[in-house]
Amino acid sequence: MATVSEQTVSERLDRLYGNPPGFAGWLSAVNHRQVGARLIVTAFIFFLLGGIESVLMRTQLAQANLDVLSPEAYNQFFTMHGTTMMFLFAVPMVEGLGAYLVPLMLGARDMPYPRLNAFGYWCFLFGGIFLYSSFLFGMAPDGGWFAYVPLTGPVHSPGLNMDFWLLGISFVEISAIIAAIEIIVAVIKTRAPGMSANRIPLFVWGELVTALMIVVAFPALLAGSVFLELDRKIGTHFYNALEGGSSLLWQHLFWIFGHPEVYIIFLPAAGIVSMIIPTFAQRPVVGYTLVALSTVAIGFMSFGVWVHHMYAMGIPFLSLAFFASASIMIAIPSGVQIFAWIATIWTGRSVFKTPFLWILGFFVIFVLGGLTGVMVAVVPFDLQVHDTYFIVAHFHYVLIGGMVFPMFGGFYYWFPKLTGKLLGEGLGKLNFWTFFVGFNLTFFPMHITGLLGMPRRVYTYQRGLGWEVLNLLSTVGSYILALSVAIFLWNVFASLRSGTPAGPNPWNAGTLEWATDSPPKNYNFLEIPTVSGRYPLWEEQDIYSGEDIDARANAYLVQPHHLHRATQGTTPLYAETDGIIRLPQPSMLPLLLGFGIAVVFGSILVNLIVPAVLGAIWSLVIITIWLWPHEGDFVE
Amino acid sequence: MSYRPLDTRSVRPPAEDAEDHRTVDWWGLIFLIVVILAFFSSVMFSFFFLRFNAEQWPPASIERPTLLLPTIATLTLLASCLPLIWMQRVLGKGERPRFNVGLGLNTGLSVAFLAILIVSLSMLDFGATTNAYGSAFIVTVGFLVVLAIAGLYVGAIVQARAWKGHFNGPRHVAVTSLSTYWYVLTAMWMVVYVSLYLLPYIE
Ligand code: HEM
Ligand SMILES: [Cu+2]
């Protein structure tokens, strides 16, 4: 029988899983690492845009009665800043990290629906461009990131501003839901043989619970947005109190989504922490089961907490008490995670490299943010500080502490996997310390400005209220933050040009993504590994010594006459091989479908019926082609 | 290291005769249904939120919708599920012509359901812009109409594939997916039928 050398197999598979050549090939890419990297880079660009908006706001507030931004511009800026950070940065970023890393951690060659994955990316990109194009027309949304009605209804916001917001956000939500389904099914079906549920890396647990929350929570906002857009465009009365509607309905629908949103952002970030700490303590995480279970618990509880955003709205007292205790309850599983992390650091031999530093920064800030959060959860206190800068300070401590710090830690940690080069340590430490100092200088004083009574969302303030020094400090802090981000970008460019080559596993980590090359070959794993513990690379056993059926699956995946992409299918709980999952080739369909939907949304925006119908027909045609099986798709 | 072809028959892509849960298509459908149900729950939540917010529901100026046509539509929809059950059974026995007939029957009854429903909607004496009741009513029913049309559209594709002879194994995930989607749709319609049409008569 003919045999083939490993090198031939590698070259052949690399071609099979790579892109077709040229620009068209680039547009038709469906590989999870390409889609993931695009999500990460695009989300980071939106982070920069949101950051620029916030620095301009801080400049306007540096002193009393400044004139940098007009009141209208200020409204647009805080709305676009909040919207960008929540919808265009945080969620796509955690999903992008998931799209890139989850299959590598699971030992798979790609995600289960690569074309859908690419479609999700195009929806995100088009939705983001859609939202930002409003600036070109001077009609950027200005109703705040939670877009409360009646302010955002047809009577009070007759311009197109809120239509940009509603349509753009819906577009981005579709993309988030798609990416979430992708991640869930990847975790259920494509784990390496032997990776039973109690061996799934904790980052993947975080991504999984987040994805499940997205699938349940985002449709609520989608429904709310559809109602509001209908109210605005065709004159329905969902939120019109005069005709029996209710503006409280919007608030419920928004916060059914909005509260879980905070944990949707936080759980994958906590997953990053749970990956970095064991690596830099050089020991398995303490209390794996407890951490995984509390991840699930936080996911469940976060749905019960939504009403605490509406304390000031007059909800009957009994349910108030219930929701107050639920808000505090969530502190318990969060606490469990924190203790597990501390115990891991305590009992390990810590290596203080840059990724680890970011995680320590996360600890400090997150604990502070958690404390103020418990304060906010106490009902009477909430009424006191409601809509002041205390709240602004609180949620930035939670969001930046809980998500941005771990994210930067994750960047330093996985950058070598993405590019093959390490980021500079010296610049990294400078990056960290400027960020840490800048962050605290920006947001700590806001607690006090808030207690002194400064309301949020004001474009300026009067002299002599004792707010000037504190505001100036915040503004200086935000400049230091901007400088820190610039240092990071410099670090990235320097590393890409002349960084130290990383090798497959620069940190001596234990999970599967480090078994691949840096950057991984197009096919990720030549053979699908077999897992016998939580840290396969730290185990004695060879990861390529599976059962007979695993060997046969691998033989299938590398066989010479094998002409289409595929990855291993395993059972949901115990991850036993139960087949091969056939994957599609690169395709233009995702881009074409995204384009069709963008045409529909754009036409709705400006009330054009004919293009809307044409766009819909175009989309239907694409869907039909997509669903129609190709030659040989199911005959072997 | 070098590779030599091994016997890989047992680990091929789960094709025509695989159990559903081995395929990712099936799992994708499950979570698509989860998304649809989450959306539907929000719609129903909104309906009841507005209802309990109102003094009278439907408002005094409005006739409650009549029951005759919606009830016929409901029965038609329930009837459209029967050929699906039958069709899966005959597909299991490999009787392809009868399978095609079953699929056709289902499509026919579904179209009838939609037609009757739309006629009944056009006979209402209120519209989506009359008041909040009208908005909630029309949009809730409209959402199911859209889902039904989407189901029919995908059903048409499955049908075309059936006539081309794509389904010759004892089972096929495209077929089970379509039926599952239709059962879920029927269940959602029952919720809508009870809450929007029957409830005003019971109270
Ligand atoms: C990086 C530095 C950042 C600075 C200097 C900053 C600064 C600000 C400022 C000045 C406001 C407006 C306060 C007001 O007038 O009411 C604001 C609002 C907000 N920020 Fe940030 N922010 C930053 C990062 C972030 C991040 C990373 C997120 C989320 C992940 C975020 C989410 C929000 C939200 C949701 C609002 C509320 C918007 C609204 O009122 O509708 N911010 N921020
Ligand atoms: Cu909250």
DSSP 8-state secondary structure symbol assigned to residue A65: T
pLDDT greater at residue B114 or residue A556: B114
pLDDT of residue A1: 45
CB contact (8 A) between residue A245 and residue B135: yes
Record the tokens describing residue B90, joined without a space: 């005959």
**Per-residue pLDDT at A365 exceeds 80:** yes
Chain B residue at shortest CA distance from A631: B166
Tens-digit pLDDT profile for residues A570-592: 999 999 988 888 888 899 999 99
pLDDT at residue A323 greater than cutoff 70: no
As a whole number, mean pLDDT of residues B177-198 equals 96
Q: List A residues 601-630 in contact with B (Cβ-Cβ < 8 A).
A: 620, 624, 627-629
The pLDDT assigned to B62 comes to 87
pLDDT at A548: 80
- Chain A nearest C-alpha distance from B134 (Å): 8
**Confidence at A333, pLDDT banded by 50, 70, 90:** confident
A154: which DSSP letter?
T
CATH architecture, range B66-202: Up-down Bundle (1.20)
pLDDT digits (tens, 9 = 90+) for A271-303: 999 999 999 999 999 999 999 999 999 998 888
Lowest mean pLDDT among A307-311, A502-506, A562-566, B132-136: A307-311
CATH number for the domain spanning A291: value is: 1.20.210.10
Give the structural domain span for A166.
4-512
How confident is the model over A470-484, as pLDDT tens digits? 999 999 999 999 999
- Please give the model's pTM, rounded to 2 decimal places: 0.94
Interface ipTM: 0.94
pLDDT confidence band for B159 (50 / 70 / 90): confident
pLDDT band at A549 (very low <50, low <70, confident <90, very high): confident
pLDDT attached to residue A360: 94
Q: Which chain A residues are closer than 8 Å to B153 by Cβ?
A: 620
Longest dimension (CA), chain B: 82
3-state DSSP assignment of residue A278: helix
Identify which of A9, A236, A558 has the shortest CB distance to residue B128.
Answer: A236
What are A214-237's pLDDT values in tens digits?
Answer: 999 999 999 999 999 999 999 999
Ligand 1 pocket residue status of A393, Cβ below 6 Å: no
Confidence of residue A443 (pLDDT cuts 50, 70, 90): very high
Smallest CA separation from ligand 1 atom 22, residue: A54
With respect to residue A567, please indicate whether it lies within any of the assigned structural domains. no
Q: How many CB pairs under 8 A join A and B?
A: 179
Reduced 3-state DSSP string for chain B? CEECCCCCHHHCCCCCCCCHHHCHHHHHHHHHHHHHHHHHHHHHHHHHHHHHHCCCCCCCCCCCCCCHHHHHHHHHHHHHHHHHHHHHHHHHCCCHHHHHHHHHHHHHHHHHHHHHHHHHHHCCCCCCCCCHHHHHHHHHHHHHHHHHHHHHHHHHHHHHHHHCCCCCCCCCHHHHHHHHHHHHHHHHHHHHHHHHHHHHHHC
Over residues B93-109, the pLDDT tens digits come to 777 788 888 888 999 99
Structural domain tally of chain A? 1
Longest Cα–Cα distance in chain A: 90
**Cβ atoms within 10 Å of A233's Cβ, excluding its own:** 14
Closest CA to A253 of A170, A138, A320, A187: A170
Instruction: Tell me the domain boundaries of chain B.
Output: 66-202
- Is A97 inside a domain boundary? yes
- By CB atoms closer than 10 A (0-12, 13-18, 19+), residue A255 is buried
pLDDT value of position A325:
64
pLDDT tens digits along A82-121? 999 999 999 999 999 999 999 999 999 999 999 999 999 9
